């Protein structure tokens, strides 16, 4: 089974609205990674968080790693149609191979 | 340009056939991985390899086999023992502790 749980499964927003997806683990993670997969495409690495309480920004995207290193979030401010896709979090399991959450599928209405 | 190449992009398999999916990378990454993605689902790990001539089973290895004879190559064979092979197969590579680089995937369909 999956070691990381992601919610929500789907999110539909109006262009310009904000969007957040959450990732939770039952165990402490040494790091967490985020990926984006466009429809019909392959996952693309966005960022890795390592430190407790870490916050990183990439333009309109804000990534957070919880203090206990068991949860993480990705927040997009003022969504655009180019943000459409599925966002996955991933946490390391044995030997650093990553286990992926089920993903949050974002659709944006122009 | 460095990257990871999967071929073919689309593959059709008859019942009872074995098929091999190719994955080649020129990123000099030590680790390589195979994931399976079903429609609307996440990625499930099939096999991974941290070094040449060594590989480990992931969560859904039954019905699949791999080899890692060269650092650049990590082919996946979908055997006839895999009862539901229709899926999107993704190969990835990475340096230890870094993000994964994915190939563009192979869509396998049983006909």
* Mutation for testing the A interface, residue in B100, B101, B106 having most A CBs under 10 Å: B100
Q: How far is CA B72 from CA A45, A57, A93, B90, B103, in A?
A: 20, 33, 24, 16, 13
| B60-86 per-position pLDDT tens digit | 999 999 999 999 999 999 998 888 999
Decide if A91 touches B, using CB distance below 8 A.
Answer: no
For position A96, what pLDDT does the model report?
A: 61
Burial B20-41 (b: 16+ CB within 10 A, else e): ebebbbeeebebbbbbbbeeee
A63 touches chain B (CB under 8 A): no
Taken in order B6, B8, B10, B14, is the CA torsion positive or negative?
negative
- pLDDT 10s digits, A42-80: 999 999 999 999 999 999 999 999 999 999 999 999 999
Closest CA to A27 of A61, A70, A56: A70
Walking along chain B (111 residues) 10 residues at a time, the average pLDDT comes out as 90 92 96 93 93 94 97 96 93 93 96 86
Q: Do A43 and B101 touch (CB under 8 A)?
A: no
Cα separation, A24 vs A38, in Å, equals 23
Q: What distance in Å separates the CA atoms of residue B55 and residue B86, rounded to the nearest whole number?
A: 23
Q: What is the pLDDT of residue A1?
A: 47
pLDDT of residue B86: 94
Overall average pLDDT of the A88-105 stretch: 87
Q: How far is residue A34's CA from residue A26's CA, in Å, rounded to a whole number? A: 18
- The answer, for B45 touching chain A at a CB cutoff of 8 Å, is yes
């Amino acid at each position: 089974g999956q070691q990381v749980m992601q919610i929500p499964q789907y999110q539909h927003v109006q262009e310009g609205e904000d969007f957040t997806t959450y990732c939770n683990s039952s165990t402490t993670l040494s790091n967490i990674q985020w990926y984006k997969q466009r429809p019909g495409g392959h996952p693309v690495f966005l960022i890795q968080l390592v430190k407790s309480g870490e916050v990183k920004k990439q333009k309109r995207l804000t990534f957070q790693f919880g203090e206990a290193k068991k949860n993480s979030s990705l927040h997009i401010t003022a969504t655009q149609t180019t943000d459409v896709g599925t966002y996955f979090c991933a946490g390391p399991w044995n030997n650093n191979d990553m286990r992926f959450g089920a993903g949050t599928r974002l659709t944006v209405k122009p | 340009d460095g990257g990871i190449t999967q071929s073919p992009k689309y593959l059709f398999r008859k019942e009872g056939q074995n098929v091999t999916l190719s994955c080649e990378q020129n990123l000099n990454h030590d680790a390589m991985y195979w994931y399976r993605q079903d429609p609307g689902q996440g990625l499930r790990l099939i096999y991974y390899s941290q070094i040449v001539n060594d590989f480990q089973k992931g969560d859904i290895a039954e019905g699949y086999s791999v080899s890692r004879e060269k650092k650049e190559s990590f082919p996946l064979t979908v055997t006839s023992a895999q009862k539901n092979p229709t899926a999107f197969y993704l190969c990835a590579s990475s340096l230890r502790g870094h993000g994964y680089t994915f190939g563009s995937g192979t869509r396998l369909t049983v006909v």
